Structure 1
Amino acid sequence: MSEREPLDVLDAIHSTRAQRFLKPDPIPEDVLWEILDATVRGPTGGNNQGWAWVVVQDTETKQAIAKVYEKRLKSHYGYERVSDKDLGTARITRGGISEGQIGIDIRNRRGVVHLAEHLAEVPAIVIPVMMGAGTAEDTRRGGAGLGASIYGAVQNLMLAARAFNIGSVFTWSLDDFSGFNKLLGLPDDAYIMCMIPLGYLEQGRFSQARRRPLGDVVHWDRWGDQRQAPPSSS
């Protein structure tokens, strides 16, 4: 068993951020089992546990996933249109929507592009699946309920990976993952909720993610009743 870093819960939360520069070095299988065991302790509506977790390590399968992912990401955000010389002033847009509205800022561009181009090289991709979801159309109508029953567990996965100094990133750049169902041999009623690439850090470090000031996003009792957050809160 690889040694875990001694982290308390808050330290783990505050140092778990998107990591897109990942080494191809393999992750020991016993570590993956530990991470997955922590994953399934996450919340699930009515303790239904209607989930499954596909761990992709096969090179050919990762290559097939990466090919579709990169193509769709480029189509979705058009990131090829932003050159390095424009870094700091350019904006990644989709259909005229600015970066602030779609949640990707230009400072993350290199990481987004790097992950898309090297996804097949990461040692493992964990794909969370909701079972009994029906068609993609049905799933979109019930998307909030489905997400509530699995995304908490996904965060557990990322926190558990952090304990082993393994980076992760929640990525969902495909409008519809259904094309992967056949590739992964999933049942017809399975619906892919996201993808979580895992790997040891090639670049970057574990640190606190930038967020808007806490006092700007917290309301007390009623909307608009806000207070200044203490200095220790960021």
Structure 2
Amino acid sequence: MPEDKVGLLEGLQTTPARRYLAATPIPEEVLWDLLDAAVRGPSGGNRQPWGWVVVRDPATKAAIAPFYVEGWEKAYGVRRDELLDPDRDPWPTSGLSASTYRAVEHLAHHIAEAPVWVVPVLPGAAQSHDKRLGASVYGAVQNLLLAARAHGIGGVLTSFHLTHEEEVKELLGLPADAATMGLVPLGYPARGRWSQPRRRPVGEVVHWERWGEQRDRP
């Protein structure tokens, strides 16, 4: 195993979404390390139902990227003037801040430049309505992102491609009954820094014994 460049708790505290990604290739041996960390993630009953599709082919990325942009435009692009209004609260308590909006917009238009995409897949999940469907996938995705952090690689779990799920599945050669559980572009950060994501104070969201019972953090 490679020597981690950050400690575990530091990594947990300072792994924000990174959306400005350089096109610099990720060495194959590093990519294998990241994927190996991902599959060590939690899996209910150790069933390990997932599959992981690694996409590096520029042609495949170029074919999927327009679907991603379309999904972005439908969700947030149409709200650009509203979310970038200079009179708007720069740090809203919910929703995208102006700086985050710009980062998400940048990724939407440059996602194909990220050197690696990792697509977590669940076979047999295409028609599922189980609220717990991602329980044995998303912890593994976070493992992937934390391992990337240790190697100085950034990424984010995103899903704007889902507006064209069937076309994406065909491009990736997935079984008809499979579902993509997201898309994780990975790359060395081109700008920004490793910092604590802005979050509500932990005391506001933690309840003790019963809902509504809160206390101040010592």
> TM-score, structure 1 length as denominator?
0.85
- Aligned partners of 1:57 and 1:157: how far apart in 2? 17
The 5 Å alignment of 1:15-164 reads 15-79=14-78, 81-82=80-81, 86-87=85-86, 89=88, 100=94, 103-133=95-125, 135=126, 138-139=127-128, 141-142=129-130, 144-164=131-151
- Aligned partners of 2:87 and 2:14: how far apart in 1? 25
Number of equivalent positions: 216
Structure 1 residue 55, shift from structure 2 partner = 0.7
Q: 1:190 to 1:70 in 2, by over 3 A?
A: same
Match of 1:187 among 168, 171, 175: 175
- Aligned partners of 2:161 and 2:93: how far apart in 1? 17
How large is the Cα RMSD of the aligned pairs?
A: 2.2
The amino acid of 2:12's aligned partner reads I
**Contact 1:50/1:132 (<8 A) preserved:** no
Structure 1 residue 22, shift from structure 2 partner = 0.4
Which residue of 1 is the match for residue 6 of structure 2? 7
Q: 1:208 to 1:61 in 2, by over 3 A?
A: same
The amino acid of 1:46's aligned partner reads G
Structure 1 residue 76, shift from structure 2 partner = 1.7
The amino acid of 2:135's aligned partner reads A
Q: What is the identity percentage for the equivalent residue pairs of Structure 1 and Structure 2? A: 49
- Aligned partners of 1:179 and 1:90: how far apart in 2? 38
Gaps of 5+ in 1: 92-97
Which residue of 1 is the match for residue 184 of structure 2? 196
CA-to-aligned-CA distance 1:116-162 (integer Å, 9 cap, x gap): 110011100110001121x3xx32x11x3221010000000000000
> TM-score, structure 2 length as denominator?
0.91
Structure 1 residue 88, shift from structure 2 partner = 5.5
Which residue of 2 is the match for residue 225 of structure 1? 213
Structure 1 residue 84, shift from structure 2 partner = 9.1
**Contact 2:83/2:101 (<8 A) preserved:** no
The DSSP-based 3-state class of the residue aligned with 2:68 is helix
**Contact 2:5/2:151 (<8 A) preserved:** no
Gaps of 5+ in 2: none
The DSSP-based 3-state class of the residue aligned with 2:31 is helix
**Contact 2:53/2:121 (<8 A) preserved:** yes
CA-to-aligned-CA distance 1:81-104 (integer Å, 9 cap, x gap): 42897346289xxxxxx993xx33
Structure 1 residue 34, shift from structure 2 partner = 0.2
The amino acid of 1:194's aligned partner reads G
Q: 1:110 to 1:163 in 2, by over 3 A?
A: same
CA-to-aligned-CA distance 1:174-194 (integer Å, 9 cap, x gap): 455233100111111210001
